Amino acid sequence: SFMNILVVFLDIDGVLNTRDSWKTPFQLNDDCIKAFCEYLNTLKYEIRIVLTSSGKMVILQFLKMKRHN
């Protein structure tokens, strides 16, 4: 039922990666992912995750440049 679903809007920057990970675009940290998943497994909900990242701005800029060329 809808009452048992939890939607998590997650900005991965600083949650699923570390400051060291920011040197390489779109890199996630295995330890961060493991800790996050362990936390989610303690919840009594069906989880839906919506990921976002400031890295999306790089992709959007690229697409805008391609569209204008």
Q: pTM for the full model?
A: 0.63
User: At 43, which amino acid appears?
Assistant: L
60's enclosing H/E stretch is helix 56-68
Two tokens at 8?
């998590």
Burial 29-67 (b: 16+ CB within 10 A, else e): beebeeebeeeeeeeeeeeeeeeebeeeeeeeeeeeeee
* Span 6-37, pLDDT tens digits: 998 888 777 787 777 777 766 778 888 899 88
Q: Which of 47, 12, 46 has the alpha carbon at shortest distance from 32?
A: 12
User: At 38, which amino acid appears?
Assistant: E
Residue 56's pLDDT is what?
Answer: 63
* Span 29-45, pLDDT tens digits: 888 889 988 999 998 88
